[in-house]
Homo-oligomer: A and B are copies of this chain.
Amino acid sequence: MLRLSQFPFKTLKSAPKVSDNHSTSLLLQGGYIRQAMAGAYEFLPIGHRVLRNIEQVIREEMDAAGYHEMLMTILTPREMWEITGRWDIPEYFKVPGWGDTEYRIAPTNEENVTPILGEFIQSYKDLPTCVYHIQKKFRNEKRAKSGLLRGREFIMKDAYSFHASREDFDKFYADVKQVYLRCFERLGLGADTVIADADGGAISDMNSHEFQTYLEVGEDIIVSDSSGYCYNLELASGIPDDKNSSEEVRLMEYIDTVPDIVNMEKMTKYFGAPDWQMLKTVIYKLQDSWKYVGVVIRWDLDVNEIKFGKFIRNIYAESFMLASEADLETLWTVRGFISPLKDSQLQVEFYGDESLKTVKNFFWGANTLAKSTKNVNIEDLDIKEFWDFSEPKEWFLSRNVSGEKLVFKRASEVGNIFHLGTKYSKPFGLSFTDENNQLNDVVEMGCYGIGVSRLMGVMAEYFMTERGIMWPENIAPYTHYIIVMGEEHISRAEELAWSLETQGYSVILDDRVGRKDGFGQKAGDCELWGIPNRIVLSSKTLEQGGYELLTRGGESKIVGL
């Protein structure tokens, strides 16, 4: 039982203004959290209970799935990170010890879990296995956002699985999706949480999925259609709208223009044509071979560098960077007028976005200052291959459902799952003996994260009302809130509170007395903290025969004491 008369963590009269989002303001106002420094939050008693309730739901689902809970270290030795080549990632903290010793406070625990399991996994009988822990992680974020969404210190549930084969991993990975969906269902987010195909980013180039909860203030955009297609915008794909592809192809002409028509406004004005009838070309230099590659797209669309990067890495296994002015000079072209015209024979390998096929008779540059072309068509260009490089726009059509427009929705990431392959098991030398007693050194791994403190922020945003945070009943910090009006009724209220606690409920007893602690204040705190059952005990309710009980979404009624 929490007696508010003895609780110093009072709610604030008004919500502190926080730039990023309103839920953080509410969490601050409600005394749930307090900022210790940019990106690191203290969980005050009320917030701590919410956090633990969220944790508990996740733990129960992990346990039910047969994953083994453990607790890995936060301090980790430098050597482990050198083995995986991740020691020098600038977003990961380094902690100096005595002498030359350096440690890392872990941002993720592959460097712990892989050598641990390496010691214990001996035979195929030990596989598959999955372990998890719930613990704080640390990232040296350059700019930490306010609130719980992206911190320097945050709580993660991270699970790691180990498999004797890719098939076994795939089966397990499919199961994890269901385990995760059950978690989010039990957290009340089920209706608005989807699984989006996602880019593995720095962690993995392999299969990965994000669990995204639709939220107006979400930091991601999820693109979907009615077929079940669901992608993070970073990787989404759709059919660009047809513009004038049925128009007759005209003969290309070179025209003199002026040097400064290098932005859209000036070009549309100069040519008297819409933006989609112009093109843009971006040239990149490969990091190792110094070869140049270019991508060509309609000017009203944007190149998705992640897609283009994957495409290029599939061919060259190299990273790339934007070509500099000096690079363009050696190529005999000029920024603003770059064009893969067959005539120009640039030493660049050009790839075209499919959107080029939706337009006829483009206007374009001619690789010389103040020289342009008109009526440019695909036949005039030196394009090695067409592919989907564009970032879909809201008017793009689905590739799966004929004639259907893609749906764009903002969302916040609440979980992610990755295929790690042998990225960690190889360097740590994991192996096992198979059914035929042969040594097998290919151990497939997966990792599965849920940001627990982030989830609390997302849930605050999702369940926020005008007056508080309407936590799901299993997550609310307490189940019952007893408002006592009149000092003379406190002992009866206390009895009631004890009796409820005996029944397994958790109770806030608002036994505050004093000028400032009227009914409004008390009812307000009850809403701010999202307590699902509100009880009022006063002379009036006693006259009516007991106390007033207002359950969430229900009618208030008098219950006999």
Contacts and interface: CB of A to CB of B under 8 A. Distances in A.
A44 interface: yes
A474 interface: no
B98 A95 contact: no
Interface in A23-58: 31, 34, 36-37, 39-45, 47-48, 51
Given A36-B73, A37-B73, A75-B152, 8 more contacts: A10-B122, A34-B119, A36-B75, A40-B74, A40-B75, A42-B70, A42-B112, A75-B153
A9 to B, nearest CB: 5
Contacts of A8: 117, 120-121, 126-127, 129
Interface of chain A, main secondary structure: mixed
Contact of A34 (B97, B116, B152): B116
B129 A72 contact: no
A96 interface: yes
- List of 10 A-B pairs having minimum Cβ-Cβ separation, nearest first: A43-B71, A8-B126, A37-B77, A36-B73, A45-B68, A40-B73, A8-B120, A75-B153, A40-B75, A8-B129
A94 interface: yes
Contacts of A94: 95-96
Contacts of A73: 36-37, 40-42, 153
Contacts of A112: 36, 42
Interface in A114-150: 116-117, 119-122, 125-127, 129, 131, 133, 136, 138, 140, 142
A74 B74 contact: yes
B74 A131 contact: no
A68 B7 contact: yes
B95 A71 contact: no
A95 B6 CA distance: 37
Contacts of A76: 36-37, 40
A66 interface: yes
Given A8-B126, A120-B10, A36 B98 contact: no
Contacts of A153: 73-75
A324 interface: no
A347 interface: no
Interface size class of A (residues with CB under 8 A): 35 or more
A70 B98 contact: no
Contacts of A287: none
Number of copies: 2
A201 to B, nearest CB: 21
A275 to B, nearest CB: 39
A105 B116 contact: no
A554 B8 CA distance: 49
A48 B74 contact: no
A69 interface: yes
Contacts of A6: 66, 129
A136 B134 CA distance: 13
14 contacts: A6-B129, A8-B121, A8-B126, A9-B120, A36-B76, A36-B77, A37-B103, A42-B71, A45-B68, A45-B70, A45-B131, A73-B153, A74-B136, A94-B96
A73 B9 CA distance: 17
Nearest to A77: B37
A163 to B, nearest CB: 12
A329 B94 CA distance: 48
B36 A51 contact: no
Nearest to A93: B95
B42 A72 contact: yes
A465 interface: no
A96 B103 CA distance: 12
Contacts of A105: 74, 95, 105
Contacts of A47: 70
A287 B133 CA distance: 49
A5 interface: yes
A131 B34 CA distance: 15
A103 B73 CA distance: 19
A398 to B, nearest CB: 43
A42 B133 CA distance: 11
A74 B36 CA distance: 10
A116 B77 contact: no
Contact of A97 (B71, B74, B121, B140): B140
A41 B73 CA distance: 6
Interface string A283-313: 0000000000000000000000000000000
A92 B229 CA distance: 51
